[in-house]
Amino acid sequence: MGKDSQARHQYSLGAIVQLGFRCWPYYRPQVPHLLIFVLLNTLIGGMILGGMVLANDVVDNKILLGERLEPLQARALFLDADYVTSGAEDEPPLSKDQRRQVRLGVLVLGALYMILLTASVALVWYYMVWIFQRINQQLRVEMLARAERLSLSHHSQSRTGDAIYRVYQDSATITNVLQFMLLTPLRILAWFAFGMVVIVLFSPWLFLFMVAAGVPIYCLMRHYMPKIRLAARESREANSELTSRIQETLAAIRVIKASGAEDHMMQQFGLESQQALDAAYRVRYYFVLLSVGVTLVGVSALLVAEYLMATWALSERATYMGAAIALVGFAVWNLGAFKAATGRGLELTKQAREFAGTWAIVQDLVVGLERAFYLLDLEPEVNEPEHPKAFPSPIQRVDFDAVHFSYQSQQKVLAGVSLGAEVGTITAIVGSTGAGKSTLVSLLLRLAEPEQGRVTINGEDIREMATEDLRGGVSIALQQNILFAMSVADNIRYGQKDTDQQKIQAAARIACADEFIQDMPEGYDTELGERGGKLSTGQRQRLSIARAVLRDTPILILDEPTASLDAMTEQAVMRNLAEWGRGRVVFIITHRLSTIRRADQIAFLEDGVIRELGDHQSLMAQQGAYSRFVEAETGEAR
Amino acid sequence: MSKTARFDDRVDTDPELSSGETLALLMRSLKFIGRVRVLFFYKVLFASVAILPPLILPWILKIIVDQVILQQPFQLEEVPFPPFMMPFIHLIMDMSPTGIMLSTTLLSFALLFIFGLRASGQFADLPQGHDAATQSEQAISSGSSEASGLWGTIEVLLTVRMTQRLANSLRTTLMGRLSRLEMTTLDDQRIGDSVYRVMYDAPMLPDICYKLTIAPLLLLISSALAVYIMQYSYGRVTPEIVWVATCLIPVTLLLTLPLSRIARRLHQTSRAAGAASVNSMEEGMDNIAAVQALGAMQKETERFNTKSEEAFRRHRHTVLLDAAITVIAYATITCGGVLAFILITDEVIEGVLTPGDYTAMIGILMTLMYAARSIGLYWIELQKNVAAVRRVFFFIDFTSELDRAQTPITVPQRGVYFDQVSFSYPDGRQALENVNLELPVGELVAVVGPTGAGKTTLAYMLPGYLRPSSGQIRFDDQDLSQAAVADIRDQVTYVFQEHMLLTGTIRDNLLLAKPDASEADMLEACRVAGALEFIEALPAGLDAPLGKGGNTLSVGQKQRLSIARGIVRDTPILVMDEPTAALDPRTENALVEALRETTRNRLVVVIAHRLSTIREADRIIFLDNGQVADVGDHESLMARADSLYRRYVELQAS
């Protein structure tokens, strides 16, 4: 499910340029480094070119032929005046020993030159990797930060593997934007212009012929580009699905084992793996066909041109303005003119091929970039107020004010719930499975937004507070006890900055978790398994409670905190919490009667509204829904 | 250990790898070629032939210059054409220059369309990122050819397919093994790390196969050809040159050998750091509700930032090593070049060779030296990918459920028996001690006890998730330790305390448990589990799509669906771990009633805290501290004044 339904399969040049520009904020911080990198590269290029020019002359003419040296050459090789040319026509060549001496100098300098050159090439390469990694890192982190702030309803519709694929594979395309969308095309254009000018000077007809060869190349590109784009998108989507498949399989491995579904799962994995490979193959298939096609057209044109030029050379036909290139040498078609023109022609076909390749690569880059930016473009459903109000302190009361809520495409979960809770009280929220209890409290954390109505603290709408402050003031022990593969202590202090061991231990005591933690091999430093495996559910529940307690917030929500605890532990935990909860607002969602009875008020939720509200005695006296619920719970247990 | 713990790998923590192990891993990788035999054969064939056409090119150009433009006659004695050119020469020998040009152009066209002559080779590689993970994407579909045209197209495409098949066969094997690891191992194995191994480590196999076989073969062929042609046409390849080039192989090898251990370690840690960053992201994304509820978004972002930065940094270390190797490689080439330069120039100075010979010989020397250097660098180059395949083979070799005995077992008729069963977790915690139990078919058995008493551990023994450290569990008379895992799981269904649903529709989730379940089976199971009501309220019913992990449902609904999934499987043994914790009493009572009806010819084991559930059981097993404290039905246990069970019930009812 690559969910970006607005995915385009057509990109205008403008859209591509626009995507390129979106990368600028990530390149901008690295601009000084990029400039230094370009400078270093130019220096190295100069070094290579200069070295070649110098070495060629000294080796070919001086050592091999024995010509005398230029004064500068002699000085560079630390040789005296005996070696220097006088400029006379008939001067004697260098002696054999002198030639060996020149050779020694060349070898020493050459060795130094090679050491310097390879070392700097290697280091500049490392520097380049560093720069591009920094660009990629910035994008990755921004993508993840955004993904973490997206609403839960988005997350419930999208897959973890897809996010992983976008953050890793799609984001990596940004490191190639500079090269393939700017530098390479510029270089190709420059070579093109140069080659075309030379050919025009030799023969305008040849020029027209080469331009004509551009027509089929253009047609080939037009034909293959949409195919490559589509294949690139399919490939990225298929690989993202495969990543999700692996991640989901392993996250649910117990169920797969329990259902004996390993073979079924492997079949599906094999299928999706093959689909991903097929999609990747298709991209390369079109890529190769295009590249070969352009090559065939280009080289065919070259061969025809060669034939024409050879016949022109045979008839010694005059060139158009060949003399402009090499004074008089190329005024007529001869060997030199043939070679010069053929050289440019070969260069042009190479550039045409590279241009086609680059353009094809850009299609893949654009698809990858768009998938990466897609994540950044998603707006969190929870919108931050521009001038957030402070979280009220001290807290007096929390109110749900006629809130409505429904999940996408499903029936209404909450249909006008109003509920108030004062500081120092415990409110139990009771109701049948699926009545909307968890949804109701999640509104208080702005994990979801009510469609109508509002949630207030001390009468102030929570939408006017910063989400971060709000969540800093509300703790929740979730129904699903989510633990992370960290140490016990890190799990309890999760989401908190600095917390000392004593506070952690105190929180664990309130949750009746201290005892079993101490029994573990390394106590609070024991590493938990993946997703907190290795602990029983009851133990995990108590760690979740300790985590919520440690945050020490004025509002506490416990969602089925004690469902898996035995009666004795449960009562101990509840006693501790009741004491700890003085001066706070506590909400508890539970089915347990012993817990419910302790509550100051009980809200019975049914069909999206609060049917009954009051304490245990008064509700029992009503003989309504609540008392029927209690009877179901206790009726046979007595 | 302390050094590797940073990568939060719990199972595979040792990045060291000896040269012997490396060699063994390389040989093992080579065996995978057997799985792509046919493609491999064609690849060798195509690649070997693709080297040849470029040899013709210089001679064609020579004919155009000498015989066409300069209009000279053929002089076969002075510089003899190589034998493969002779048929063509004989054909055009007596033609006019225009005729020769026409023939040559036609030959060029033919060679262009077949081999792409005059164009360089063809490749199919797209650009990649700057860390190991993003480079794997390319590695799994890599392919190239020395030729272009029809020949090159076919070769590139079949290479891509071969690469893909090699990698796919490895990653499928790995995935199969990972999913069958023992439960105790899976508790420790990070999901992100597994994703990394399957997606990013496995694709490195083809490169090893290629580097060990085709690449050196091609280098040798092209070097031999270069020497042969020089010898034939100029008769002037001094043996010294060949020796100098050959000597580069051991020299490069020896110089880079000390780096190979470092190379392995750097690449191992680079990959481990990459996996750690995926771990961090995967964990945060998959538990996003907790992250947001606890206001930990900032912290999670920072965590990922650190891990990702670390992964990039570790990758840069490998780049630095590559840089060092490049310097060494160029240094050896330079030294070889210097030696040959002295040898050749000496002869030029002495007048034995001409300057023209110098140019020709330096050219061929360079070809030979690059070939020699590449072969010398193979060992060190191989280390990179050995690091990756080691990570793959590690889990292929790791003890899995498939390594257990494979005796088939039959449906238990009488019951399940625990005989002196004890269990300790790998970290030493003892969870069960000397448990003796009889669980007869036809009963509803409740396992009761305080939190942490070992109830889940006991229940995990039934489907063989855990195996006794000592003692024996039997289905009738069949020892479970000898039984095939698949057989055991066919007999036992386990419904988990924490419900796990898969992304997909409700139907997908039910069919996962029983692929051939009928519509009626599914609806009946949903009815028993109390899930029918809410499913019918959904617009798409059974085909309603569930979000990630079933997150579009409430916890209670997920639980009921999980129970329905357990029931639809219809196995002789059904284990339910606190099935009703998130259910309201009415739903729960209905479920227990329904379960009672189904126990006639099966064994239902329920772990429960609720008295209403426990009371319904035929047999109650009270566990305390890993030991069986009481066994009996509710009445008989309540009748005993000293029973722990009675105290437990009284506390709960108070």
In SS3 terms, B87-146 reads as HHHHHHCCCCHHHHHHHHHHHHHHHHHHHCCCCCCEECCCCCCCCHHHHHHHHCCCCEEC
Residue B450 CB contacts under 8 Å (≥ 6 apart), including other chains: A566, A568, A569, B624, B648
| Phi, psi (deg, nearest 5) at residue A601 | -140, 150
* Residue B244 clears pLDDT 60, i.e. is over it: yes
Helix axes B585-598, B555-569, angle to 10 degrees: 0
Which is it for the CA torsion A470, A472, A476, A482, positive or negative? positive
The minimum CA-CA distance between A60 and chain B, rounded to whole Å, is 7
User: Which token pair is B263?
Assistant: 């190379």
| Phi, psi (deg, nearest 5) at residue A400 | -100, 125
The model's pLDDT over B84-115, given as tens digits with 9 standing for 90+, comes to 889 999 999 889 999 999 999 999 999 999 99
Please check whether residue B459 lies inside any domain of the structure.
Answer: yes
Helix axes A537-550, A567-580, angle to 10 degrees: 0
Percent of chain A at pLDDT > 90 equals 40
Helix axes B239-286, B355-397, angle to 10 degrees: 30
Domain boundary among B367, B397, B427: B397
Same domain, residue pair B180 and B303: yes
Contacts of B566 in chain A (CB under 8 A): 258
Q: How far apart are CA A278 and CA A272, in angstroms?
A: 10
Domains of chain A are 1-149 (no CATH), 152-381 (1.20.1560.10), 397-634 (3.40.50.300)
Question: Is B69–A310 a contact, with Cβ atoms under 8 angstroms apart?
Answer: yes
The model's pLDDT over B311-370, given as tens digits with 9 standing for 90+, comes to 999 999 999 999 999 888 888 888 888 888 888 888 888 888 887 778 778 888 888 888
Interface predicted TM-score of the whole assembly (ipTM), two decimals: 0.89
Please check whether residue B423 lies inside any domain of the structure.
Answer: no
Same domain, residue pair B23 and B85: yes
Same domain, residue pair B495 and B622: yes
**Residue among A25, B321, A32 at smallest CA distance from A40:** A32
Contact A450, A416 (CB under 8 A): no
Sheet-wide strand order for A555-559? A474-477, A555-559, A585-589, A426-431, A601-606, A609-614
- Shortest CA distance from A165: residue in chain B: B134
In A426-528, which residue ranges form alpha helices assigned H by DSSP?
A: 437-444, 467-473, 488-492, 501-510, 514-519
The model's pLDDT over A572-604, given as tens digits with 9 standing for 90+, comes to 888 898 888 888 999 999 888 888 888 889 999
Cα–Cα distances in angstroms (integers) from residue A386 to residues A376, A445, A454, A466, B407, in the given order? 20, 19, 18, 9, 68
The minimum CA-CA distance between A4 and chain B, rounded to whole Å, is 16
| Average pLDDT of chain B, as a whole number | 88
Host domain of residue B616 = 441-464+485-653
Same domain, residue pair B375 and B454: no
The minimum CA-CA distance between B165 and chain A, rounded to whole Å, is 9
pLDDT tier, A4 (very low <50, low <70, confident <90, very high otherwise): very low
Please check whether residue B419 lies inside any domain of the structure.
Answer: no
Contacts of B289 in chain A (CB under 8 A): 152, 155, 447, 478, 480, 482
Give me the residue from B143, B156, B289 closest to A478, CB to CB.
Answer: B289
- pLDDT value for A83: 86
Same domain, residue pair B447 and B378: no
Please check whether residue B478 lies inside any domain of the structure.
Answer: no
Please check whether residue B417 lies inside any domain of the structure.
Answer: no
Read off the pLDDT of each residue in B209-216 and give the average, rounded to a whole number. 93
Q: Is the peptide bond before A32 cis (omega within 30 degrees of 0)?
A: no
Read off the pLDDT of each residue in B155-175 and give the average, rounded to a whole number. 96
* Residue A231 clears pLDDT 90, i.e. is over it: yes
Q: How far apart are CA A28 and CA A128, in angstroms?
A: 15
Strand-strand pairing, B545-546 and B504-505: antiparallel
Residue B418 DSSP SS3: strand
Q: Does A287 reach chain B within 8 Å, measured CB to CB?
A: yes
* Residue A91 clears pLDDT 50, i.e. is over it: yes
Question: Is B141–A280 a contact, with Cβ atoms under 8 angstroms apart?
Answer: yes
Q: Which of A151, A180, A299 to mutate to test the interface with B (most CBs of B within 10 A)?
A: A299
Same domain, residue pair B390 and B452: no
Same domain, residue pair B372 and B303: yes
Domain boundary among B370, B397, B424: B397
For residue B24, give the DSSP letter.
Answer: H
The minimum CA-CA distance between A87 and chain B, rounded to whole Å, is 23
- pLDDT value for B237: 65
Which H/E stretch holds residue B435?
strand B430-440
User: Which token pair is B25?
Assistant: 């891993």
Which burial class, exposed, middle or buried, applies to A249 when counting CB atoms under 10 A from its CB (0-12, 13-18, 19+)? buried
**Residue among A358, A243, A209 at smallest CA distance from A291:** A358
Residue type, A333: W
Please check whether residue B121 lies inside any domain of the structure.
Answer: yes
Read off the pLDDT of each residue in A511-517 and give the average, rounded to a whole number. 91
The minimum CA-CA distance between B20 and chain A, rounded to whole Å, is 30
**Residue among B433, B415, B416 at smallest CA distance from B424:** B433
**Max CA separation in chain B (angstroms):** 122
Q: How many CB atoms lie within 10 A of CB A624?
A: 13
Q: For the residues of A351-371, what is the DSSP string, one character each?
A: HHHHHHHHHHHHHHHHHHHHH
Count of CA atoms in the C-beta half-sphere (13 A) of B53: 26
In A291-450, beta strands by DSSP E: 397-406, 412-422, 426-431
User: Which token pair is B633?
Assistant: 């039905």
The model's pLDDT over B599-652, given as tens digits with 9 standing for 90+, comes to 778 899 999 887 878 888 899 999 998 999 999 999 999 998 888 888 888 877
Please check whether residue B412 lies inside any domain of the structure.
Answer: no
Which contacts qualify for A34-39: CB closer than 8 Å, 24 or more apart?
A34/A131, A34/A178, A36/A127, A37/A124, A37/A127, A37/A128, A37/A131
Residue type, A93: P
User: Which token pair is B35?
Assistant: 């799985």
- pLDDT value for B351: 82
Q: How far apart are CA B232 and CA B223, in angstroms?
A: 14
Which residues make beta-bridge pairs with A431? A605
The model's pLDDT over A290-336, given as tens digits with 9 standing for 90+, comes to 999 999 999 999 999 999 999 998 888 888 877 776 655 678 888 88
Please check whether residue B411 lies inside any domain of the structure.
Answer: no
Task: Convert A489-513 to b/e letters by CB count within 10 Å (16 or more is b).
Answer: bbbbbbbbeebeeebbbbbbebbbb
**Residue among B491, B485, B467 at smallest CA distance from B402:** B485
Q: Which of A23, A257, A470 to mutate to test the interface with B (most CBs of B within 10 A)?
A: A257
- pLDDT value for A10: 62
pLDDT tier, B3 (very low <50, low <70, confident <90, very high otherwise): very low
User: Which token pair is A446?
Assistant: 């702005």
Q: How far apart are CA B319 and CA A261, in angstroms?
A: 43
Question: Is A157–B299 a contact, with Cβ atoms under 8 angstroms apart?
Answer: no
**Domains identified in chain B, total number:** 2
Q: Does B572 reach chain A within 8 Å, measured CB to CB?
A: no
Which is it for the CA torsion B403, B405, B410, B415, positive or negative? negative
Give me the residue from A96, A292, A529 closest to B148, CB to CB.
Answer: A292
Q: How far apart are CA A567 and CA B178, in angstroms?
A: 39
- pLDDT value for B2: 38
Q: How far apart are CA A423 and CA A418, in angstroms?
A: 17
- pLDDT value for B161: 97
The minimum CA-CA distance between B111 and chain A, rounded to whole Å, is 11
Contact B117, B149 (CB under 8 A): yes
Q: Which of residues 52-111 of B touch A (CB under 8 A)?
A: 64-65, 68-71, 97-98, 101-102, 105, 108-109
- pLDDT value for B582: 65
Same domain, residue pair B454 and B316: no
* Residue A493 clears pLDDT 80, i.e. is over it: yes
- pLDDT value for B4: 42
Residue type, A283: V
Same domain, residue pair B445 and B393: no
A218-222, A540-544, B470-474, B547-551: range with lowest mean pLDDT: B547-551
* Residue A3 clears pLDDT 60, i.e. is over it: no
Q: Which of residues 249-288 of B touch A (CB under 8 A)?
A: 278-279, 281-288
The enclosing domain of B452 has a CATH number of 3.40.50.300
- pLDDT value for A435: 81
Q: How far apart are CA A70 and CA A53, in angstroms?
A: 14
The model's pLDDT over B563-593, given as tens digits with 9 standing for 90+, comes to 899 889 889 999 988 876 667 777 777 888 8
Question: Is B323–A173 a contact, with Cβ atoms under 8 angstroms apart?
Answer: no
Q: Which of residues 283-302 of B touch A (CB under 8 A)?
A: 283-301
Same domain, residue pair B175 and B297: yes
Residue A406 DSSP SS3: strand
The model's pLDDT over A235-279, given as tens digits with 9 standing for 90+, comes to 999 999 999 999 988 888 888 887 778 888 899 899 999 999 999
User: Which token pair is A145?
Assistant: 């930060």
| Average pLDDT of chain A, as a whole number | 87
Helix axes B519-528, B585-598, angle to 10 degrees: 130
**Residue among B125, B123, B121, B95 at smallest CA distance from B107:** B95
The model's pLDDT over B353-410, given as tens digits with 9 standing for 90+, comes to 887 778 778 888 888 888 888 888 888 889 989 999 999 999 999 988 888 888 888 8
Q: Does A12 reach chain B within 8 Å, measured CB to CB?
A: no
Strand-strand pairing, A609-614 and A460-461: unpaired
Strand-strand pairing, A426-431 and A585-589: parallel
Same domain, residue pair B72 and B169: yes
Question: Is A259–B611 a contact, with Cβ atoms under 8 angstroms apart?
Answer: no
Q: How far apart are CA B376 and CA B257, in angstroms?
A: 10
User: Which token pair is A45?
Assistant: 């290029």
Same domain, residue pair B79 and B204: yes
The minimum CA-CA distance between A226 and chain B, rounded to whole Å, is 17
Question: Is A256–B283 a contact, with Cβ atoms under 8 angstroms apart?
Answer: no
Helix axes A335-377, A184-202, angle to 10 degrees: 150
Domain boundary among B366, B397, B428: B397
User: Which token pair is B428?
Assistant: 């030493």
Q: Does A81 reach chain B within 8 Å, measured CB to CB?
A: no
